[in-house]
Structures are given as C-alpha cells and as structure tokens.
Amino acid sequence: MADPQDIDLVTDDSTPADESNDHSKESFLLLLIGAIGVVYGDIGTSPIYAFREALRAGAGNHDILKFDVYGVISLIFWALLLIVTIKYVVFVLRADNNGEGGILSLMALARSTFRKKGGWALGIGILGASLFFGDAVITPAVSVLSAVEGMEVVAPDLEPFVVPLTLIILVALFAVQKFGTGKVAIVFGPITLIWFLALGGFGLFHIFDDLTILKSLFPGYAISYVVSNPATSFAAVGAVFLAVTGAEALYADLGHFGRRPIVAAWLWIVFPCLVLNYLGQGAFILSHGRNTINPFYQMLPEWALIPMIILATMATVIAAQAVITGAFSMARQAVQLNILPRLEILHTSEKNLGQIYMPRINLILAVIVILLVIGFERSSNLAAAYGISVTGNMIVTTSLLFIVMRRIWKWRLALCLLPTLAFLCLDLLFFSANLIKIHDGGWVSVGLACSVVLIMWTWVRGSRHLFKKTRKAEVPLDLIVTKMAEKPPIIVPGTAVFLTSDPKSAPSALMHSLKHYKVLHENNVILTVNTASTPRVSSVDRARVSQFNERFMQVTLTFGYMEQPNIPKALAICRKLGWKFDIMTTSFFVSRRSIKPAAKSDMPMWQDKFYIFLARTAADATEYFQIPTGRVVEIGTQITV
C-alpha cells in the first residue's frame, strides 16, 4: 500500500493554496497581539536569566567590574540587533514557502530547486529539525524554573519548594494539551503584552540609576570586552546567546500571523522593551553593588515583586506552550515529508485545523522535561544545556537561506555570499562559545539532537530500502490491466480503491485480492497520495484522474506538508472530474505489512531492527487517512528489509 508516510496536513479543501495564509481579512491589531503572545514568548522570558548568567560567566573568579557590565550589555544589544533584527526580520522572514516558515519549510523550498531529490538538503533539514527538538525540551524546563525561583527573593526559606512547584506547573501544562490551546491562546497575547510593557517600564525606571549604562550601546564596548580577555569573555558570549534564544520562532510561526505583524511586534514593542530591561538591570547593578545575585527580581520594588513573579510564571508557561505547539507542528511536517513514521494526530478544534495534539510527542516531551528539572534543579545549571541546539539550528537556517537567495531569488553570487558569510560568522561564534558548555550540561541538547537524527535517518534509509525491495517483486500495473481486460475474472458490483505508493506497479492488495478471492470489482481505483513541496494545495490541484479502461482508473491525491490527509473528503472532488464517487459503495483495500529482518541487508542489523521497531509503532493508516473503518479491507503481507 502507499506508505502513508508520504503525506501531509490540514487545510480546508475549499481554500485555495494562495489564500490559506491570507491574513488581510483579520485585524492587524489582533494579529500583532497574537504574535506577541506566541512568537515572542520564549525570547521574552530571557531577561530573567540571560544577563545574570552572562555576567557570572564573564566575571569568572574575580569581582564584577564596570567594564564587565558595559561589555555584557553591549554584547546582548548587538546580538539582538544583528541576529534577530537583521538576520531574521530583514532576510529570513522573506524566505517563506507559500506563506509558511520553519526549518522544514525552508528545507522543502531549497530542495524544490533541484531536479534530483537533493539528498544533502534533506540531510541539512533533518539536522535542523533534530536540533529544534533538542531545544524544545530545554525551553519549558529552564523558563518555568527560572520564574519560580523568584520566590526565593521574597522568602529564601521557600527554596526547597522551587523544584516541586515547577514540576506541578509543568505536569499540569502537558496534561492540558489534549484539550487544545484555542481558548488559552486568546489570553496569551494580552498577558505577554503586559509582560513586555512591565519589562520596559521597570527597566526604563532603573536606567536613571546610572545613565552611563547607555554607553554600552556603542559597539566598541562589545568588541573591546571580547578582545581584552578572550578566555572569560568567550564563556560570556555563550551565555549572552540566551538573550536571543527564541529568535527562530519568528520564522517558525510565520504562517500563523504573517510577516507584517511579526515584524511590527518586534520593532515597536518587543525589541525596545527587551533593550530597556537589560539596560535597567545593568544600571541597577552599577548603582546597587556589582555582586547582585538576581538583578531581574532584585531591581523590582517590593509592591511589584509578587505580581511580577506571578506574571513571570505566566509568561514562561506561555513560552513553554509555544515551544510545545511548535514541536507538534514540526513533528507533523516531518511525518508528512516521510522523515518520521506516522504519528497519531488529534485535532482539538473544529474551526482551526492548525490546532493539533500529538499524544506520543507530548508524552516524550513531558518525561524528558521533568527529568531535566529533577536532574539539574537550578535554572543556572540548565542554562549550560541551553544554546547548542539553537545555535546549530541557526547555522542550518543560514545554509539553506543561501540556496534560496541564489536559486530562487536569483541574487548574484557576491550578493549572496556577503550576508551569508556575515551570518555564519555570528552563528559559528555563538556555536563555538556554547560548545565549551558540553561538560556542564550541553551534552543534553547534543544527545537529544543526535537521538532524533538517528531516528529520522533510520526511517528515511529504511523506507528507501523497503521501497526498492518491494518494487522488484511487484508486477507492472499496465500488464495487470491488460490481462484483466483480455481474461477478466468474476466481476462483482461496487468500487475498490487500492492504496499504493508506486503508481506504476500493481498494488500488493490488488494482487492478493485476485489471488485469494479471484474476483474483480466493477470499478477499480489505483490511489496514490503524494506530498507537495508547498505547505498547502488548492482544491483545483488536489486530485488528478486518468482512465485506463472501463474497469481501471488511476487517481493521484496531493496534499501540502502542512495538511492532514483526508482521503474520502479529497475523493469527493473527483465528482467534478467525472468519477461518481460514493463512499457507501466503495471499499478501501489496504496492505498491512509485517516486516522481518533479512539475512542479508544493505543496512546493519541493529538499524534493520530499529527500523522495524519504528514501523511497528507507526499509527494505523486507516485513522491517519481518515477513512471510515467500516469501508476498509486489510490484507496482510510479509516482507523482509
């Protein structure tokens, strides 16, 4: 049968592809506030810990100096300006794939420019997706933990309750995922907007503690800080990157809000408020003692401390929610692009098809996040594990962006190389600075990313070997059609739909049906489901029908990689193409393959067995394609790989 991993995702078939992401009918203000809540939740919680960790790393064993404060603030400001504003806002957001963003969208866009499949581009995309998953488990842990640690400022005796309370919040967060986030998302924007305004307001208030902090906006302080003491400043650079983690969300959530609201939210609200808060923290330390333990909370007046701890906790939960939702979306795209096995996808909203819940992904994330909190206990310890995955993901984005600039935008080579090399220098600087933290916890994100790479690589490699092996044993479809026309077996009423991934070969379900039942239906449809390199496919391009003869017809359904395949709904379109599809007189024949390891295989035995394990855990094809179970006939086959 068509290995239904070649599929896609959700969209209303009545919606043309070029309109599915059209935000013009929605209020710009609503989209702006929504973008603040979803897109900037992660980067918005960075002030809680980023400046503190960078200052500690840069100071090393000596007391914090004025020069350290100026240098770290300068590095943070220029990192936000160069990486987020210049790289992502000016360049990356323009590389949309029919309105969609994200590393897999960029990979699909880059691969579409090559006549052959562009396996190396697929490899880069797999690496980027794996790094994203490595980041997705650390963000909820470090964000919520850092917010709850604010209780220690109010009452140091509450320290033993930090980890238990963090675990309660995280368990509750993962537990409510199955109910959907639509209603909660309505308040995400306003809460996060209040959070950013509070960040900017308290920061602006404390800037006047020591106005000399404004000198740190001059790039010379960042450069001299790095050059003067490379050993300690290099460690500080790795911690400074915590201030820009979440920048990749600008691109990943492009399809949800559109470019204009995301850019406007950054330039008008998020960027100014972040800069004001970092400047305020720096001025507070300069005027209140440079050995301050937690400047973010300590610079708050007493009356605002508890409200800000509550607001910070809400903001970090929102940031964690955005990352979890992003992980669901990334996993769904990976399934559609045949990079992962079929996974169960549940829709949590009848109106918004983009709201999904993936039980297996949710459980895996929850277990790993809980283990991280228990194992590291402090946000400072977890901060060391943060950064490697994000910087690696940014290097992948820059590499794929070069292909888009050169092959799609048709820029001259020199014009492509100039920004690419500049971005790569920044990315590699932060990546190398974070690599030194491997023994302090960075091994976690590296290990997680490597695990996901292994899973994806095994699935892609095993699927290709399986396809080649099954194709050798299959009979050409043209031959079967000709034989059935010359010497037809017993004809029974109704329509039989046979799913196959290879439209040129006779489906194994058809061959077994003829072998065992020795009958042929009045109408036989050879159905292939393809995944487009675009996020969505319009109803006009959804189905293609061709007639072999009066008994056999070939139908090809195409879904975008952001769509959930619904075969009965898509086949209804075929009525306009001449086929009177009626679900009540149609039976779907699906092959259920039992895979066994071969004595001699192109893959190592361990990878053979691992691929078989992944195949067995794949979701049921009937549910995945949303075919009514009462209309399905499953025929078992056994194959070695």
Q: Please write down the HEC assignment for all residues of 394-454.
A: HHHHHHHHHHHHHHHCCCCHHHHHHHHHHHHHHHHHHHHHHHCCHHHCHHHHHHHHHHHHH
Q: Which of 563-572, 593-602, 609-618 has the lowest mean pLDDT?
A: 593-602
Average pLDDT over residues 78-88: 95
Q: What is the pLDDT of residue 64?
A: 79
Q: Is 11 part of any domain?
A: no
Residue 451 sits in the same domain as residue 487: no
As a whole number of angstroms, the distance between CA 499 and CA 187 comes to: 44
Mean pLDDT of 477-494: 86
Q: Is residue 345 part of a domain?
A: yes
Q: Identify the band that residue 5 occupies on the pLDDT scale cut at 50, 70 and 90.
A: very low
Q: What is the pLDDT of residue 256?
A: 72
In a shared domain, residues 390 and 265: yes
> 566 with 439, same domain?
no
Give residue 185's pLDDT band: very low, low, confident or very high (50, 70, 90): low
Q: Predicted confidence band at 393 (pLDDT cuts at 50, 70, 90)?
A: confident
Same-domain pairing of 36 and 89: yes
If you average pLDDT over every residue of the chain, what do you get? Answer: 83
Last residue of a domain, one of 462, 495, 523: 462
Distance CA 633, CA 510 (A): 11
Highest-confidence range of 68-77, 388-397, 467-476, by mean pLDDT? 68-77
Quote the number of domains for the chain. Answer: 2
Higher pLDDT among residues 640 and 455, named by residue: 455
pLDDT tens profile 36-51:
887 888 898 899 888 9
147-174: pLDDT as tens digits: 888 887 777 787 888 899 999 999 988 9
Q: Please, which residues bridge with residue 491 across strands?
A: 520
400 and 530 share a domain? no
Of all residues in the chain, the percent with pLDDT exceeding 70 is: 91
Is the pLDDT at 594 greater than 70? The verdict is yes
pLDDT-derived band of residue 2, with 50, 70 and 90 as boundaries? very low
229 part of a folded domain: yes
Least confident of 373-382, 474-483, 592-601: 592-601
Structural domain contains residue 14? no
Of the three residues 462, 495, 528, the one that is the final residue of a domain is 462
Residue 343: what pLDDT?
A: 86
Q: Residues 321, 188: contact at Cβ < 8 Å?
A: yes
pLDDT at site 418: 94
182 pLDDT band, cuts 50/70/90, is low
- Of 100 and 565, the structure prediction assigns the larger pLDDT to 565
**Axis crossing angle, helix 230-240 with helix 219-228, rounded to the nearest 10:** 130
Q: Are 221 and 215 in contact (CB under 8 A)?
A: yes
Q: What is the dihedral of CA 401, 403, 408, 413, to 10 degrees?
A: 100
The three-point CA angle 617-620-624 to 5° equals 120
Single out the residue of 553, 437, 570, 420 nearest to residue 497, CA to CA: 553
**400 lies in the same domain as 544:** no
Better-predicted residue by pLDDT, 229 or 237: 237
Query: At residue 208, what is the residue type?
Result: F
Domain that holds residue 595: 475-640
Dist CA 610 CA 612 (whole Å): 5
In a domain, 512, yes or no: yes
CA atoms within 13 A on the CB side of 289: 7
Beta-carbon neighbour count of residue 504 at 10 Å? 13
Q: State the pLDDT at residue 113.
A: 79
Q: What is the DSSP letter of 177?
A: G
Among 291-300, 487-496, 568-577, 595-604, the minimum mean pLDDT is found in 595-604
Q: Mean pLDDT highest for which of 337-341, 415-419, 609-613?
A: 415-419
**Which secondary-structure segment (H or E) carries 639?**
strand 632-640
Residues 412 and 482 in one domain: no
Q: How confident is the model at residue 61 (pLDDT cuts 50, 70, 90)?
A: low
The DSSP annotation for 7-57 comes to ------TTS-TTTTT--TTS-HHHHHHHHHHHTSHHHHTGGGTHHHHHHHH
272 compared with 34, residue with greater pLDDT: 272
Residue at 70 is within a domain: yes
Per-residue pLDDT tens digits for 186-220: 667 888 999 999 999 999 999 999 999 999 999 99
Amino acid type, 42: D
The H or E element spanning position 188 is helix 182-207
* 349, part of any domain: yes
- pLDDT (0 to 100) of residue 356: 75
> What CATH number should be reported for the domain holding residue 457?
1.20.1740.10
Using CB atoms within 10 A of its CB, is residue 148 exposed (0-12), middle (13-18) or buried (19+)?
A: buried
Do residues 444 and 532 share a domain?
A: no
* Residues sharing a CB contact under 8 Å with residue 492, sequence separation 6 or more, in sequence order: 519, 520, 521, 522
The better pLDDT of the pair 75, 32 is held by: 75
Tell me, letter by letter, the H, E, C secondary structure of 505-555: ECCHHHHHHHHHHCEEEEEEEEEEEEECCCCCCCHHHCEEEEECCCCEEEE
Asked if residue 567 and residue 427 are part of one domain, the reply reads: no
User: What is the distance, to the nearest Å, from the Cα of residue 95 to the centroid of all Cα atoms in its chain?
Assistant: 16
Tell me whether residue 9 is in a domain.
Answer: no
Which of 462, 491, 526 corresponds to the end of one domain? 462
Quick one: 328 and 422 in the same domain? yes
- The mean pLDDT value for 357-371 works out to 91
Q: What is the pLDDT of residue 18?
A: 40
Q: Residue 60: its pLDDT value, please? A: 66
What lies within 8 Å, CB to CB, of 561 at 6+ separation is: 8, 9, 104, 105, 108, 333, 336, 337, 531, 532, 533, 534, 535
Specify whether 233 is located in the same domain as 378.
Answer: yes
The reply to whether 341 and 424 lie within a common domain is yes
- pLDDT for residue 575 is more than 60: yes
Q: Which residues of 248-275 are buried (b: 16+ CB within 10 A; e: fewer)?
A: bbbbbbbbbbbbebbbbbbeebbbbbbb
Which H, E and C letters describe 366-391, residue by residue? HHHHHHHHHHHCCHHHHHCCCCHHHH
